Amino acid sequence: MAEIIQKDGTWTFDGDAVRIVPGRDKVVGLLRQTLGEVVVPLHALAGISHEPGRKTGRLRLKLREGADPLLQVTGGRLPESSDPYRLTVDADRTGVAEYFVDEVRNALLLDQVDAGPADAYLLAGPAVPISVAAGDGTVAFDGDRVALDWNWTTEEAKSSGGPREFRVADLRTVEWSPSKGLDNGWIRFTLAGAPAAPAPKYDPYTVELFGFKKDPLMALVAAAVAVRMPHPRDASSPDEPVPSLSPAPVPELAASAPGPTAPEDHDALLRRLRELGDLHQGGILTAEEFAAAKQAILRRF
């Protein structure tokens, strides 16, 4: 068991999953507070890193592409305060953070977790029912039906048709885009067979977002809907590939991730062997665990 407790949140690893509980500090974004506890199974992870700093460092989980519906719909565009897979670490807890990283990396290595893309969502996504009012409308989702309603800021061309309601089974895509600079964001639902959508301001199946505090919560709605739709890598629909929205791979995480897709850097592998030896001598790894991990690394030379 490894655990690190900070104002930003608490991360616990029991060998099978990383359990993330957001903190109550003012820097913790509304999205993280609303999402609540997240359990990331080991087989959904591609890697983990600790980035030390003079005053504070940062722990960061790297999930496998396509494993998490929230990452899929946000594509690395969440602000840092809203990212549930980052943890701010005080400088005096650096040792604990590094121990946590070693525990997760060793488990990934021992279990030979594939760091490649996932063919199905491995996280459950946000809880339903969920309802968010932001921008020019409100989106409510009960796990089957999506309902859109409008407010006084909505363009008449959009609101004149009244509220909209449709089932997840009728959707082709759900998309979320944050506000950026002078450009408004949006959450858009595209029904199967629908023509090209107008601008978000006029689209009756899109809620336009103005850059206010509750905007990121629409990403939770999008994720809750997306996890109940066919996975982007679903082999049953090869004619309609969905482009990846996951963040670009982080070099230091990709290099540390186990599996056949990891770069075969011999110097790094030798360092990892020495680290495993130290862990074995320190009593953290048993003889059997050390032997299995050693063989796994040797096979990658």
C-beta of residue 290 within 8 angstroms of C-beta of residue 280 = yes
Across 178-189, b (16+ Cβ under 10 Å) vs e yields: bbeeeebbbbbb
Distance CA 275, CA 235 (A): 40
Whether 251 shows a pLDDT value over 80: the answer reads: no
**pLDDT tens digits, one per residue of 109-139:** 999 999 999 999 999 999 999 999 999 999 9
pLDDT the model gives residue 234: 76
Please state, as a whole number, how many other Cβ atoms lie within 10 Å of the Cβ of residue 3. 14
Q: For residue 264, give the amino acid letter.
A: E
pLDDT for the residue 296: 66
Residue 56, H or E segment: strand 56-63
Please tell me the least confidently modeled range out of 30-34, 105-109, 250-254: 250-254
pLDDT at 248 over 70: no
**Is the pLDDT at 285 greater than 80, yes or no?**
no
Cα–Cα–Cα angle for 253, 81, 23, rounded to 5 degrees: 95
N-to-C CA span, the chain: 30
* pLDDT value at 59 more than 80: yes
pLDDT digits (tens, 9 = 90+) for 168-216: 999 999 999 999 888 999 999 999 999 988 999 999 999 999 999 999 9
**Model pLDDT, residue 286:** 67
132-136, 144-148, 182-186, 237-241: the lowest-pLDDT one: 237-241
pLDDT computed for residue 247 by the predictor: 40
Report how far residue 68's alpha carbon sits from residue 53's, in angstroms, rounded to the nearest whole number: 28
Supply the pTM of this predicted model: 0.76
Report which of residues 253 and 153 the model is more confident about. 153
- C-alpha 273/C-alpha 270 separation (Å) is 5
Q: Which range has the top average pLDDT, 111-115, 280-284, 297-301?
A: 111-115
How sure is the predictor about 260, in pLDDT bands with cuts at 50, 70 and 90?
A: very low
Mean predicted lDDT score pLDDT of the chain: 85
**How many CB atoms neighbour CB 238 within 10 A?**
8
Q: For residue 264, is pLDDT > 60? A: no
Higher pLDDT, 241 or 77: 77
Higher pLDDT, 233 or 148: 148
Q: Using alpha carbons, select from 25, 141, 44 the residue that is nearest to residue 85.
A: 44
Cβ-based burial of 123 (10 A; exposed 0-12, middle 13-18, buried ≥19): buried
- When pLDDT is cut at 50, 70 and 90, the band that residue 53 belongs to is confident
Token digits for 153? 């800021």
| Contact indicator for 219, 84 with CB cutoff of 8 Å | no
